[in-house]
Amino acid sequence: MIGRGYALSLLLTGLALGALSGAAEAQSGRELAPVSAFAGIGDPGQRSAALFVEAGKVLRHPRCLNCHPAGDRPSQGEEGRPHQPAVRRGPDGHGVAGLRCVACHQAANYETVGVPGHPQWHLAPASMAWQGRSLAEICAQVKDSARNGGRSLTEIVEHMGRDSLVGWAWSPGSGREPAPGSQAAFGELIKAWADAGAVCPGS
């Protein structure tokens, strides 16, 4: 079993190496197009798909992809490098015995050493792995209640627009690029996508 202090030491070492390799500074001014920008698309299906493409700028951003990994190990950094230490998802997404997420990730970002944090820090379910998948494939996952945790479209809209762990993507702490726009703008795009028929790009 790995002790909490040792796990934190390993994580801090990985973060320090990442900083030395040139971790990107947070950028500002990257916005999402508002829902009104799509009003000129007369066909509801085409408008819905276009709205999801815009929302996809968030869904395919490193802040989301790193917690929706293709395997059982999360990613970190702007380039999606393998998490250090080599943690694993575990049966509940909160890590494995001896190396749980909370061993290092606390209730808030720990800016002194650059460790991100949130009260519910954990990986997305394996059924919602997004890395390496097309936007159309991600869209199909989001809509599929068998893979999205049993959520209806209404619940998906609520989750993406209001969930505080999702919201962390816009306040990830220094040295990390926030997701484009804001959670409110992202939530509005997802709601408009759902209201227009929840059509996936390329379908």
The residues spanned by each domain of the chain are 4-20+41-195
Helix (H, G, I), strand (E, B) or coil at 82: strand
Stretches in the chain below the pLDDT threshold 50: 1-2, 4-29
The pTM is what?
0.84
Helix (H, G, I), strand (E, B) or coil at 81: strand
Position 203 scores a pLDDT of 57
pLDDT digits (tens, 9 = 90+) for 93-144: 999 998 999 999 999 999 999 999 999 999 999 999 999 999 999 999 999 9
| Nearest residue to 151 (alpha-carbon basis) of 194, 196, 197 | 194
Contact in structure between 200 and 51 (CB atoms under 8 Å): no
Helix (H, G, I), strand (E, B) or coil at 122: coil
